[in-house]
Amino acid sequence: MSDDEFREDFPALSEEIETGGTQKHRIDGVRVMSEDEPEPAVVHFTPGVIDYIRRCDTSEQAIEIVEYLLKRGELSQKEANAIKVQLRSDGIRSFGAKKERDHYLHHGLDSD
């Protein structure tokens, strides 16, 4: 990388290097966790059939997931049939908008 490219890509950093000056910020205190404070609770989330369906692109993919969960005993035959009926009559997006990759990373566990 040439000097000109570096200046263009990193103007503030190149200015600090050239002038020898850096920005300084005063830190007034440091937060310390006392031994009496409980550790934050870890939230565990196990996706359900609807979470899996909302990641599908087609009804065929959703039916494949329903069949798999039924085979594993995670869905009853009645639940599987109800989901398939809804898929055929109302379509895949009747279960909610498509959840993209890293959905929970970007939106958290509380969002739909």
- The tens digit of pLDDT for each residue in 71-109 reads 999 999 999 999 999 999 999 999 888 887 776 665 565
Is 7 inside a domain boundary?
A: no
**Residues in contact with 91: Cβ distance below 8 Å, sequence separation at least 6, in sequence order:** 59
Is 66 inside a domain boundary?
A: yes
d(CA 84, CA 69): 13
Is 15 inside a domain boundary?
A: no
Is 34 inside a domain boundary?
A: no
pTM of the model: 0.55
Is 85 inside a domain boundary?
A: yes
- The tens digit of pLDDT for each residue in 33-80 reads 666 666 666 667 777 898 889 888 999 999 999 999 999 999 999 999
- The tens digit of pLDDT for each residue in 7-18 reads 888 888 888 888
Is 75 inside a domain boundary?
A: yes
Is 71 inside a domain boundary?
A: yes
| Burial status of residue 79 (CB atoms within 10 A of its CB: 0-12, 13-18, 19 or more) | middle
Asked if 65 and 87 touch (Cβ cutoff 8 Å), the reply is: no
Residue span of the structural domain in which 54 resides: 49-107
> Number of folded domains in the chain?
1
